[in-house]
Chains A and B, each alone.
Chain A
Amino acid sequence: DTGVSQDPRHKITKRGQNVTFRCDPISEHNRLYWYRQTLGQGPEFLTYFQNEAQLEKSRLLSDRFSAERPKGSFSTLEIQRTEQGDSAMYLCASSPGTARQGYTFGSGTRLTVV
Chain B
Amino acid sequence: AQKVTQAQTEISVVEKEDVTLDCVYETRDTTYYLFWYKQPPSGELVFLIRRNSFDEQNEISGRYSWNFQKSTSSFNFTITASQVVDSAVYFCALPSGSARQLTFGSGTQLTVLP
Bind each other: no
Residues of B within 8 A of A (CB): none
Residues of A within 8 A of B (CB): none
